[in-house]
Structure 1
Amino acid sequence: MQLSQIARYRDAAFQLPDVPSWLPPERHHDAAAIERHCNDLARAGLVGHFGNEDAAERFLARRLPLRAALCYPRTLDDRAAGLASLAVPTALADEAFRAPGVRDDPERAAVLRDRLLSVLDDVAPPAGFALGRLLYTALSRTTPRMPPAVARRYRQAHRETVECSLHEAAEGHDDTVLDFATYLGVRRTHHAAHRAAVLTEYAIGVDLTRELSESPALAAARDLAVDHLTLVDELFSFPEECRAPRSVSAVWVFVAHEGRTVQGAVDKLAGLVAAAEEDFAETCARVLHGPLGERGDVLLYLRELGHLMSGNLHHHRFVRGGEAACVPSPGPGTAPGVPRPASPA
């Protein structure tokens, strides 16, 4: 089934299923102040980017700094505001390739790619490039404080996201629906989740560059967290994106390749989210029983990957249905622990 044939399903009725989660949600203890600070920092740049205050306020209403406070609840206090300030410009950069006038203009999209890559190479953008100024300012507050290897990995993950955003915009005109394995490979590279996972190390003050390259189990835990973020974002963004089918969409993959209804495809996607949590717990157990199991920095990292997953899920729930049900973090100095599935009632 081609993408053009899927168009007949875009008006199909469906409901997002409940997504059970055993991951304990938290938010940073200074979340409210951090969000106010980040909004004040970004507002003028957003007005410059969108050209009007209403669009800027609509973007801020998505409360992306709150997402950072949920995804990184144990962030060290001296870097919490700086880390959260990345939330607005990075999302804005990811979405800029889908903006009208860019997604249908390969030359304009390539220019945007080059300008963003220049910012990621630490070149100050011109005053008229509001998005670039926002991103440059946020990067200047964070990357100099990262361990050099973590900073390199973060900037590289961001570069890959920019490159893949350009390719995805170009492939938006392709009528072929990807199979699931290809889809997941594309999303693992393009999606911002890998970049978010690198920030987990910065948030808690560790550098696991070598360990992630040498321990398959630790890298697998990281990759499962990346997959979880990707699938959750796909699930909760589908109601807004269903009227414009695209080849890089898990729901349309299941409709096209497995003959599922839209509701059946959405249900399968929710099931994959739950399965990713279970696989994450099993993989954490493998790490704990291996040579890294007694390392405090590794335990902190695994715990924070769990918070990254739960924070993203609960932020989506908050945006759709009200205040996220989570408790303030007790702070970065508390004893580490790796979340595990609760015993059945």
Structure 2
Amino acid sequence: MGGDGHLPRGAAAERGVAVGPARLARGLTRALVVGASGQIGGALCRVLPDTVGTYRSRPGSGLRQLDASDAEAFRRTLDDTGAAIVFFPAAQPNVDWCEAHPAEAESGNLGPLRVALAAAIERDAFLVAYSSDYVFDGAHGPYVETDPVSPISVYGRIKVRLEEETLAAGAAVVRTTVVFGSERGEPRNFVLRLVQSLARNETVRVPTDQVGTPTYSDDVARASGMIADARATGIWHVAGPDRISRLELARHAARAFGLSEMLIQGVPTSALGQLARRPLESGLVIDKLRERFGITMHSVGAALADLRAIIDRHE
């Protein structure tokens, strides 16, 4: 099932249950965020109203513990929360780890998704899963939703499988890229790790040849809310408006946080010794998202300014 419309789904269709405005109103008041201790999950809980967040191994204030691979626990959590929307950003995001452990990466990323899809179908909940520009080879970016996938890493191939299974269940896929924003605990995203290193006066090597469309995590959350509100199935690209290299992003971040650009050393990707291949000429086009929802995304400069203001408020 694909498309962007409002579709009767799964058990609801079989029983003739309406999936119209009355059911959507229930979904709008309560959404389950699986993986809320991660970057996108944290943004979903922060930006969207009335969410219930879960974690597996990284606790956070107000979050519920959930092993998303446990089908009974997942169904019980849906029932307890009354959620009619499920955001599923939970994943193993370390691309090189996935390359070194392909079987574990596949089971760890796809097993919980299958549990979530089955539970969502049983309870007529609308699910939004998250993918990446790593489904492309990075030879001819930026990409639109209809471009053929051509992954060059284990992580990318897993994301292709995730997309196929999510679409087959009549749900939505958000593809995004180079996501950055505030995070709980030790930072994992490129910008915050860079800022942390520069603040310690450490030299940072950054690829000059990886080009993409950096995306503010709060924008991913806002767009996800719009997609879920509309029950808009299919693939949606969600990305920032600026197509720049990682080196340019690093320099923008250094300036935004008042840190030295002299510590940033630009190098080709081949010099970094990364296990998994990266898509180099990448990025995502979001015309479909803009036309459907009229959303405006933060520029890199505006997003970094907002991120610094958030961090300054909490120091």
TM-score (normalizing by structure 1): 0.26
Using CA pairs below 8 Å that are at least 6 residues apart, which structure has the higher relative contact order? 1
Bigger share in helix: 1
Bigger share in strand: 2
TM-score (normalizing by structure 2): 0.28
